[in-house]
């Protein structure tokens, strides 16, 4: 008897349901396993923060970079092209803290490099701590700790996740550039004491004596080898991406009459006891790379199956930017040198850890404005704020309105701190005084916007300048009145560049991911600095830092 094809198919399905279900279940589980990866375990994570790096330094100098540094990270990694700081002030301390905590000053509490402490009535530094002693120096350069950082970092969470078996080492010329990324649990943080010493130092917060390898490095002569004239890496005539070498917008080294190459002033070459100048040359970054590579070897980072963390901050880019400006031949040459140092670092990681066994991210702690004098010469609105004039005029207003100027206790980081006791004694309300002073300040030339502390407390801003200010506003530490200068306007000498504002030239910075667990590609969707730590935490399968407000960047991570 011949069975029709349709009837045969029905009978087959009826008598073999378990086979069909099993196949479907197997296929479903297979698909799930393809799309789900619980964690990625690189042997080493390397976090790189380039101090004062604007995003357009990637694109402006692209044609001069080699294949092994910035280009390798971009071409073989993931490039977040529209990455921003979502708070102000945009400065070094808050920047490093935000990268590693996954949140903003409103939560982590590092509201500036320095700020007015309302409890003590004094200025405090973000990393200073007199309860600890210096290690490796007789000066106060090592009296530091992360105690003002209110939350954990991704480096802390990695240490906690591994029962402290992972190792975290942090390195930077600036103390805050090492201490804040290292978090509360770092095995060690090292920074450079220039002045008359030229030594890598630390704090008793981490150790009682320097390890032998650090002493050996300090004594090796490597540091002194960088006391040499600064000459350009390439023919300066090829540096068409930056302005003329001799121009009125750049600062001078000692004894110089023009800000031109080569830079070979006496304190750069002849003075044996002046190492501070190294910070203002690309050699400071090369020295940082040398020391980081020694730490990689001596601390045996990435040697086993437990993920370690190496945090590196390149600080010389900031010193050079402040002195010469973002359009200078000096800043271009500094980034070409840094590109070579990155290549050295990546090659060493390939050899020591394994090419497919480490993960890197690179970002910046803030951007920078072009020199306003140069912008004005190009007919772009820009200028300088004369606070001395405003201080006098504002003082007269305070005296006339309230009978005293003491109602203002401090002005720092573009915030006014008021004396609440005096306000109470005058039978006034703090909120009303804030409003009156804010309206007055709006009348002054160069000021674009003013917000009050009560506005920061009562409103929930979701975009624009007030959103950025609110993310930087810490309820216990920040001031009563927040001032925003007009775009292109700064309070700074007329040579060199600066930063700190909520404007886009200070917020737009690179964000590159590379290596184990990272997709190749790019995005122009907006990402924000607090997204970095959750992204790395998600990759590693560890807890987010306990104050995180950022979210993982899904496009960066492999399935």
Q: What is the pLDDT of residues 279-324, one digit of tens each?
A: 999 999 999 999 999 999 999 999 999 999 999 999 999 999 999 9
d(CA 323, CA 368): 12
Number of domains in the chain: 2
Mapping DSSP onto H, E and C, the string for 21-57 reads HHHHHHHHHHHHHHHCCCCCCCCEEEEEEECCCCCHH
Beta strands 481-485 and 415-418: pairing type?
A: antiparallel
* Sequence-ordered strand ranges (E) for 477-517: 481-485, 489-490, 511-515
pLDDT at 252 over 70: yes
Residue 102 inside a domain? The answer is: yes
d(CA 240, CA 418): 49
pLDDT at 94 over 70: yes
363-376 pLDDT tens trace: 999 999 999 999 99
Residue 106 and residue 61 share a domain? yes
pLDDT at 269 over 80: no
d(CA 447, CA 387): 11
Last residue of a domain, one of 485, 514, 539: 485
Residue 172 and residue 206 share a domain? yes
CA-closest candidate to residue 534, choices 517, 549, 523: 549
Residue 369 and residue 291 share a domain? yes
Query: What is the rounded average pLDDT of the residues 64-89?
Result: 98
Tell me the CATH number at 61.
Answer: 3.40.720.10
Q: Which helix (H) or strand (E) holds 447?
A: strand 447-452
Spatial CB neighbours of 241, under 8 Å, sequence gap ≥ 6: 60, 61, 63, 64, 332
**Residue 92 bears catalytic tag:** yes
**What pLDDT is attached to residue 195?**
85
- pLDDT band of residue 25 (cuts 50, 70, 90) is very low
pLDDT at 19 over 50: no
Residue 314 and residue 265 share a domain? yes
- pLDDT band of residue 23 (cuts 50, 70, 90) is very low
- pLDDT band of residue 36 (cuts 50, 70, 90) is low
Residue 15 inside a domain? The answer is: no
**Which one of the listed residues 90, 92, 101, 107 is annotated catalytic?**
92
Query: What is the rounded average pLDDT of the residues 244-263?
Result: 96
d(CA 103, CA 80): 18
What are the distances in angstroms from CA 34 to CA 30, 155, 303, 324, 542? 6, 29, 29, 52, 21
pLDDT at 9 over 90: no
389-420 pLDDT tens trace: 889 999 999 999 999 999 999 999 999 999 99
Spatial CB neighbours of 260, under 8 Å, sequence gap ≥ 6: 245, 246
**What pLDDT is attached to residue 7?**
42
**What pLDDT is attached to residue 388?**
86
Residue 310 and residue 197 share a domain? yes
Q: Using the 8-state DSSP alphabet, how is residue 508 labeled?
A: B
216-232 pLDDT tens trace: 999 999 999 999 999 99
pLDDT at 358 over 90: yes
pLDDT at 558 over 90: no
In DSSP terms, 135 is beta-bridged to 202
- Record the pTM: 0.92
**What pLDDT is attached to residue 210?**
98
Cα dihedral across residues 98, 100, 103, 106: positive or negative = negative
What are the distances in angstroms from CA 206 to CA 84, 373, 416? 32, 45, 36
| Helix ranges, 152-299 (H) | 154-161, 175-182, 212-219, 222-225, 266-269, 283-298
Residue 411 and residue 433 share a domain? yes
- pLDDT band of residue 39 (cuts 50, 70, 90) is confident
Residue 512 inside a domain? The answer is: yes
- Specify the 3-state DSSP secondary structure of 512: strand
Query: What is the rounded average pLDDT of the residues 474-499?
Result: 97
Query: What is the rounded average pLDDT of the residues 79-94?
Result: 98
The count of other CB atoms within 10 Å of the CB of residue 446 is: 17
Domain that holds residue 250: 44-153+164-376+502-556
Torsion of CA 486, 487, 493, 494, to 10 degrees: -120
Q: Using the 8-state DSSP alphabet, how is residue 398 labeled?
A: H
Residue 5 inside a domain? The answer is: no
DSSP per position, 51-115:
TT--THHHHHTGGG--TTTHHHHHHHSEEETTEE--SS---HHHHHHHHHHSS-HHHH---SSEE
d(CA 202, CA 135): 5
> Burial, 207: exposed, middle or buried (Cβ in 10 Å; 0-12, 13-18, 19+)?
middle
pLDDT at 38 over 90: no
Residue 343 and residue 405 share a domain? no
**What pLDDT is attached to residue 30?**
42
**What pLDDT is attached to residue 265?**
87
Residue 147 inside a domain? The answer is: yes
**What pLDDT is attached to residue 267?**
79
Residue 549 and residue 425 share a domain? no
Residue 28 inside a domain? The answer is: no
Tell me the CATH number at 475.
Answer: 3.30.1360.150
Last residue of a domain, one of 485, 513, 533: 485
In DSSP terms, 490 is beta-bridged to 384
Residue 390 and residue 370 share a domain? no
Residue 535 and residue 424 share a domain? no
Residue 464 and residue 372 share a domain? no
| Helix ranges, 426-543 (H) | 430-441, 453-458, 464-471, 504-507, 532-540
Residue 83 and residue 55 share a domain? yes
Residue 2 inside a domain? The answer is: no
**What pLDDT is attached to residue 266?**
84
d(CA 242, CA 371): 13
Say how many residues make up the chain. 559
pLDDT at 3 over 60: no
Residue 6 inside a domain? The answer is: no
């Amino acid at each position: 008897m011949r069975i029709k094809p349709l009837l045969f198919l029905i009978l087959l399905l009826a008598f073999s349901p378990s086979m069909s279900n099993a196949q479907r279940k197997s296929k479903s589980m297979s698909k799930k396993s393809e799309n789900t990866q619980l964690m990625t375990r690189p042997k080493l994570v390397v976090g790189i923060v380039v101090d004062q790096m604007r995003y357009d330094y990637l694109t402006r100098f692209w044609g001069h970079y080699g294949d092994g540094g910035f280009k390798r990270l971009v071409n073989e990694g993931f490039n977040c092209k529209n990455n921003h700081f979502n708070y102000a002030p945009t400065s070094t301390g808050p920047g490093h803290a935000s990268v590693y905590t996954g949140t903003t000053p409103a939560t982590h509490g590092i509201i500036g490099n320095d700020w007015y402490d309302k409890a003590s009535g004094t200025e405090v530094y973000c990393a200073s701590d007199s309860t600890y002693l210096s290690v490796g120096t007789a000066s106060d350069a090592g009296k530091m700790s992360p105690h003002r950082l209110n939350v954990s970092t991704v480096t802390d969470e990695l240490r906690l996740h591994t029962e402290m078996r992972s190792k975290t080492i942090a390195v930077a010329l600036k103390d805050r550039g090492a201490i804040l990324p290292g978090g509360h649990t770092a095995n060690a943080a090292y920074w450079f004491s220039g002045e008359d010493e030229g030594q890598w130092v630390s704090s008793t917060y981490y150790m009682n004596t320097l390890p032998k390898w650090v002493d050996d490095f300090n004594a090796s002569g490597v540091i002194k080898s960088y006391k040499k004239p600064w000459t350009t890496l390439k023919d300066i005539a090829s540096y068409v991406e930056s302005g003329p070498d001799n121009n009125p917008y750049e600062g001078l080294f000692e004894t110089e009459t023009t800000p031109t190459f080569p830079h070979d002033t006496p304190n750069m070459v002849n003075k044996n006891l002046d190492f501070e100048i190294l910070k203002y040359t690309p050699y400071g970054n090369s020295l940082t790379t040398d020391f980081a590579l020694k730490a990689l070897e001596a601390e045996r980072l990435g040697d086993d199956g437990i993920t370690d963390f190496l945090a590196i901050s390149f600080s010389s880019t900031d010193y050079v930017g402040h002195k010469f400006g973002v359009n200078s031949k000096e800043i271009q040459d500094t980034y070409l040198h840094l590109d070579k140092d990155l290549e050295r670092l990546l090659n060493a990681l390939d050899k020591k850890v394994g090419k497919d066994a480490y993960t890197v991210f690179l970002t910046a702690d803030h951007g920078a404005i072009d020199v306003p004098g140069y912008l004005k010469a190009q007919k772009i609105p820009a200028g300088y704020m004369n606070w001395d004039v405003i201080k006098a005029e504002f003082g007269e207003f305070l005296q006339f309105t309230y009978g005293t100027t003491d109602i203002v206790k401090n002005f720092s980081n573009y915030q006014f701190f008021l004396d609440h006791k005096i306000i109470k004694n005058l039978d006034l309300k703090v909120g009303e005084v804030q409003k009156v002073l804010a309206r007055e300040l709006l009348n002054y030339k160069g000021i674009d916007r003013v917000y009050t502390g009560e506005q920061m407390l009562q409103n929930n801003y979701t975009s624009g300048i007030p959103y950025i200010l609110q993310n930087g506003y810490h309820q216990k530490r920040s001031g009563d009145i927040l001032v925003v200068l007009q775009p292109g306007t700064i309070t700074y000498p007329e040579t060199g560049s600066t930063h700190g504002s909520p404007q886009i030239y200070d917020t737009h910075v690179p964000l590159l991911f590379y290596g184990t667990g990272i997709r190749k590609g790019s995005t122009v969707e907006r990402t924000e600095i607090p997204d970095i730590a959750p992204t790395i935490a998600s990759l590693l399968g560890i807890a987010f830092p306990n104050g995180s407000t950022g979210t993982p960047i899904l496009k960066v991570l492999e399935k």
